[in-house]
Amino acid sequence: MPPRPRLSPLSAALATTFAALLASPALTQAQTLNELYESARGFDATYQGARAQYDANIARAAQAKAGILPSVGLTAGVTRSDLDIDTLTGTGRGSSASRDFNTQNVGINATQPLYRPANWATYEQGKRQAEIAQAVLTIAEQDLIVRVSQAYFDVLASQDSLALVRAQKVAVAEQLASAKRNFEVGTSTITDSREAQARYDLVIAQEIAAENDLQVKKVVLDQLVGRPGSVPVPLAVPVVLPTATPADINAWVSQADEAHPAIRQARLGLDVAGLEVDKAKAGHKPTLDANLGYNVTRNPTGTSTSTVGTRVNAATVGVTFNLPLFAGFATENRIKETLALEDQSRSVLEGTRRSVAQATRAAYLGLVSGAGQVKALEAAEASSQSALDANRLGYQVGVRINIDVLNSQSQLYQTKRDLAQARYNVLLGNLKLRQANGTLTVDDMNAINATLASSGSVPAVPPAIGPDRGTTTPAVPVTPPSIPVVPPVQTPQFNPPAPTMPTAPVPPVIVNPPVR
């Protein structure tokens, strides 16, 4: 039997795919994670709404200070009075007279609260409401960092998947061409060609799905950052994943209890509820205000009792004391209500602590598991490459069939896709861990941004990752080979005759059986 023709190296297939990718789309200026995050800060509707809510909460909190500051008012008015005077007794009884006059007044009055416990409690609530607004905004900023990073790495993962599917398509096409040549020279059966054709058609379907997934992920990223046609910068090669420090789950949980904005918000909410109790109790306490005023009243044509024009300048200063005695049990019931709400806020705080601790532990364990998965997949990638080389060599010497090579190729590319996704999950896991314990900042995103390649012109779809070393295959001027299509082979219908059942032999006849 003549030897089977030698297969082309798989790296040549990857190089062909990379050359086709570089030749088809125009080079696009890529953006780093930081650049897209800054774009999202000025465009994302959710974050902009959070910023507007923060400004509104700050303004509402500042209103509480008015209760402890003086209030000043300016008053002015003009009154005209028309009087009809009827004499009922005495001299002139039964006579009537008409009298009209004008009254002009202007004044300025000020009131300064001296002792109002409810107003002071409201003022303290306002300060805590401002801190709550800051905590809510911090949560929105952390959420934006994670959402942008998630969309960023989703696009990179889709690009890797598409590049690997296209590289796999070239490799399967070469295997298909080889199987067809072997069939034409009589060294293999039509089964090899059929299997290669089926695998090639499957890869074509996977390529269509990968292209659609990439377009969808790009739309999500563009809508988030407000930049059409955004192209993320891929990871630098070799990939260096950051590690989570400290490597102690309890340290992360303790840090979350101290710094998480949700816990801080719940703790401040408990303080506000306690101050609400003080406000309710202030319903039994007296109030004391200082009053100061200066008023001018002018009657140029006299008054109802005098025809002489007058002007009165009155300066007043005083203190107003008020002591509530009975309000229909409203104050007592209000105190009971606020005490119950304070207990509710205390339960909310405890529930928030538990939820944050649980989320932090889950995020830490997920990150540790993801890092271990990356190492396992790196070992699986090397093993899959060795298995593919062995099956390819066995196919050349005739101890392996075509389906073995195709299965090895599929396993290798699937492992590479899983490895790329696992690396992105680890990068996102670092951010989600810090979001879970409430310490996520832009500096943490900068550490992730440092793992990217240098920004510059990169293809819209990244080159396929080479199977030999897991690195980017350099571009070479290779003309993509034509993909042969094996036509279906007409085979006669298999209609074997019905099997003939043998007739059972006649049982033997025993003559003169022995007597026992």
Q: What whole-number distance in Å separates Cα of residue 71 and Cα of residue 109?
A: 8
Q: What whole-number distance in Å separates Cα of residue 148 and Cα of residue 37?
A: 6
* pLDDT tens-digit readout, 122-162: 999 999 999 999 999 999 999 999 999 999 999 999 999 99
Average pLDDT on 30-43 reads: 92
The pLDDT of residue 492 is above 60:
no
The pLDDT of residue 496 is above 80:
no
Query: Is residue 16 situated within a structural domain?
Result: no
Phi, psi of 319 (to 5 degrees): -130, 135
DSSP 395: H
Residue ending a domain, choose from 267, 302, 322: 322
Looking at the structure, do residues 79 and 174 belong to the same domain, yes or no?
A: no
Contact 33, 216 (CB under 8 A): no
Residue ending a domain, choose from 450, 479, 502: 450
Residue, of 481 and 229, whose pLDDT is higher: 229
Average pLDDT on 266-278 reads: 95
The pLDDT of residue 483 is above 60:
no
Tell me, letter by letter, the H, E, C secondary structure of 263-329. HHHHHHHHHHHHHHHHHHHHHHCCEEEEEEEEEEEEECCCCCCCCCCEEEEEEEEEEEEECCCCCCC
Query: Is residue 293 situated within a structural domain?
Result: yes
pLDDT of residue 515: 54
Looking at the structure, do residues 309 and 216 belong to the same domain, yes or no?
A: no
Residue ending a domain, choose from 394, 423, 450: 450
pLDDT of residue 269: 95
Looking at the structure, do residues 350 and 293 belong to the same domain, yes or no?
A: no
Among the listed residues 134, 148, 139, the one whose alpha carbon sits nearest the alpha carbon of residue 356: 139
Looking at the structure, do residues 296 and 380 belong to the same domain, yes or no?
A: no
Q: What is the CATH number of the domain that holds 135?
A: 1.20.1600.10
Helix (H, G, I), strand (E, B), or coil: what is residue 218?
helix
Query: Is residue 17 situated within a structural domain?
Result: no
Query: Is residue 490 situated within a structural domain?
Result: no
Looking at the structure, do residues 106 and 181 belong to the same domain, yes or no?
A: no
The pLDDT of residue 114 is above 50:
yes
* pLDDT tens-digit readout, 312-357: 899 999 999 999 999 889 999 999 999 999 999 999 999 999 999 9
Query: Is residue 513 situated within a structural domain?
Result: no
β-bridge pairing 96-115 and 28-29: unpaired
- Number of folded domains that form the chain: 2
H/E run at residue 101: strand 96-115
Looking at the structure, do residues 103 and 220 belong to the same domain, yes or no?
A: no
- For a pLDDT cut of 70, what percent of the chain falls above it? 83
Looking at the structure, do residues 307 and 416 belong to the same domain, yes or no?
A: no
Query: Is residue 242 situated within a structural domain?
Result: yes
Looking at the structure, do residues 292 and 241 belong to the same domain, yes or no?
A: no
CA dihedral 432, 437, 441, 446 (to 10 degrees): -40
Looking at the structure, do residues 107 and 250 belong to the same domain, yes or no?
A: no
Q: What is the CATH number of the domain that holds 77?
A: 2.20.200
Query: Is residue 339 situated within a structural domain?
Result: yes
Q: How confident is the model at residue 69 (pLDDT cuts 50, 70, 90)?
A: very high
Looking at the structure, do residues 191 and 339 belong to the same domain, yes or no?
A: yes
pLDDT of residue 307: 76
Stated pTM of the model? 0.76
Phi, psi of 167 (to 5 degrees): -65, -40
pLDDT of residue 195: 87
* pLDDT tens-digit readout, 180-228: 888 888 777 788 888 889 989 999 999 999 999 999 999 999 999 998 8
Looking at the structure, do residues 171 and 104 belong to the same domain, yes or no?
A: no
> Nearest 5 degrees, angle CA 16-CA 19-CA 20?
85
pLDDT of residue 503: 59
DSSP lists the bridge partners of residue 217 as none
pLDDT of residue 403: 83
Residue, of 246 and 455, whose pLDDT is higher: 246
pLDDT of residue 376: 95
pLDDT of residue 512: 54
- For a pLDDT cut of 90, what percent of the chain falls above it? 57
Query: Is residue 156 situated within a structural domain?
Result: yes
Tokens (6 digits) for 257 = 């209890």
Looking at the structure, do residues 382 and 302 belong to the same domain, yes or no?
A: no
pLDDT of residue 229: 87
- Which domain, by its residues, includes 295? 71-85+96-114+287-322
